């Protein structure tokens, strides 16, 4: 699924936070929390969304837990891996599992994923029947469709967060009625890594690049795609992947 969200901070060099804030696992004081919120609000404005003050707690929690050791990878197996023109293309199989999903239909793709991820952050940070921080899994996915012409994004965008392993058999329920817990069947995808922002413009470029690398293939959807995001939106130059979805699961 497209953890999935408020965008990459690399475009805001003059706003960037000190390393002792973004890299620390210790709770933040009020001053640092306010600085972090202001930073996210500045990023949000570049994607036409407002980040409300009530996001202060979840933003601080997600930022201080943004250590690689605290991020649980979504399980998968590699079917094939090849290089072409210096690019690595992998085909993977993801097993069935439980995901927390939310659908947004904003004017712009980046607005939909930003607003959806803020709601998912609240769910992850205690606003669920579990009443505690659930833990972060990666990647967060954004699933979307393009028009028949392949040039326009359709309005509905599904953002999804894979529930950590300990919650797969007994998923917590969200306090937010817009977030649903969905069972997703196994999924076979073709992937390519890219870094930075995930706007309509950059995502379309990545789709075009992967089609060029793949050439003629017939067993993948041509209007349905996913963007997989691996890092907290506060990480400059964060890692993403474009996913093509196989028709043969």
CA angle, residues 238, 241, 243, in degrees to nearest 5 = 160
Cite the beta strand spans of 48-130 per DSSP E: 71-73, 77-84, 87-94, 97-104
| pLDDT at res. 4 | 34
Classify residue 3: in a domain, yes or no.
no
3 with 161: CB under 8 angstroms?
Answer: yes
Distance CA 147, CA 156 (A): 12
With DSSP H G I counted as helix, E B as strand and the rest as coil, what are the percentages for the chain, rounded to 5? 30, 30, 35
* Residue 5 scores a pLDDT above 50: no
Classify residue 230: in a domain, yes or no.
yes
| pLDDT at res. 13 | 42
The pTM of the full predicted model, rounded to 2 decimals, is 0.84
Classify residue 2: in a domain, yes or no.
no
What CATH number is attached to the domain comprising 197?
3.20.80.10
Report residue 49 as tokens.
């969304």
Quick: pLDDT tens for 118-163: 999 999 999 999 999 999 999 999 999 999 888 899 999 999 999 9
Which pLDDT band, with edges at 50, 70 and 90, does 27 fall under?
low
Lowest mean pLDDT segment, chosen from 72-86, 208-222, 229-243: 229-243
35 with 21: CB under 8 angstroms?
Answer: yes
Distance CA 117, CA 98 (A): 17
Taking CB atoms within 8 Å and a gap of at least 24, the contacts of 79-84 are 79/188, 84/213
Q: Which of 74, 189, 231 is nearest to 137 (CA)?
A: 74
Classify residue 4: in a domain, yes or no.
no
Residue with tokens 């980040």: 51
Taking CB atoms within 8 Å and a gap of at least 24, the contacts of 67-74 are 67/25, 70/135, 70/136, 71/136, 71/137, 71/138, 71/230, 72/135, 72/136, 72/137, 72/138, 72/164, 72/165, 73/137, 73/138, 74/137, 74/138, 74/139, 74/162
* Structural domain of 21: 9-246
235 with 66: CB under 8 angstroms?
Answer: yes
Classify residue 124: in a domain, yes or no.
yes
Report residue 82 as tokens.
């090849």
Classify residue 112: in a domain, yes or no.
yes
Higher pLDDT, 182 or 62: 182
Classify residue 40: in a domain, yes or no.
yes
Q: Which of 224, 227, 216 is nearest to 247 (CA)?
A: 224
How many domains does the chain divide into? Answer: 1
Distance CA 47, CA 116 (A): 13
DSSP code at position 206: H
- What is residue 104's three-state secondary structure? strand
Classify residue 128: in a domain, yes or no.
yes
* Residue 109 scores a pLDDT above 50: yes
């Amino acid at each position: 699924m497209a953890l999935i969200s408020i965008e990459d901070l690399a475009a805001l060099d003059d706003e960037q936070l000190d390393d002792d804030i973004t890299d620390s696992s210790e709770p933040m004081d009020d001053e640092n929390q306010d600085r972090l919120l202001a930073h996210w609000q500045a990023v949000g404005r570049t994607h036409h969304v407002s980040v409300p003050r009530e996001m202060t707690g979840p933003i601080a929690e997600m930022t201080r837990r943004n250590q690689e050791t605290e991020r649980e990878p979504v399980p998968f197996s590699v079917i094939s891996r090849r290089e072409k023109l210096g690019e690595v293309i992998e085909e993977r199989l993801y097993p069935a599992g439980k995901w927390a999903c939310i659908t947004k239909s904003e004017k712009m793709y980046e607005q939909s994923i930003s607003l959806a991820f803020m709601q998912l952050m609240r769910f992850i940070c205690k606003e669920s029947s579990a009443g505690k921080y659930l833990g972060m899994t990666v990647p967060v996915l954004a699933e979307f469709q393009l028009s028949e012409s392949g040039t326009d994004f359709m309005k509905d965008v599904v953002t999804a967060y894979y529930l950590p392993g300990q919650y797969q058999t007994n998923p917590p329920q969200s306090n937010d009625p817009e977030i649903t817990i969905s069972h997703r069947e196994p999924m076979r995808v073709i992937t390519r890594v890219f870094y930075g922002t995930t706007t309509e413009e950059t995502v379309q470029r990545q789709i075009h690049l992967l089609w060029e690398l793949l050439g003629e293939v017939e067993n993948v959807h041509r209007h349905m795609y996913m963007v997989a995001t691996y890092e907290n939106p506060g990480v400059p130059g964060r890692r993403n992947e474009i996913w093509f979805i196989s028709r043969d699961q």
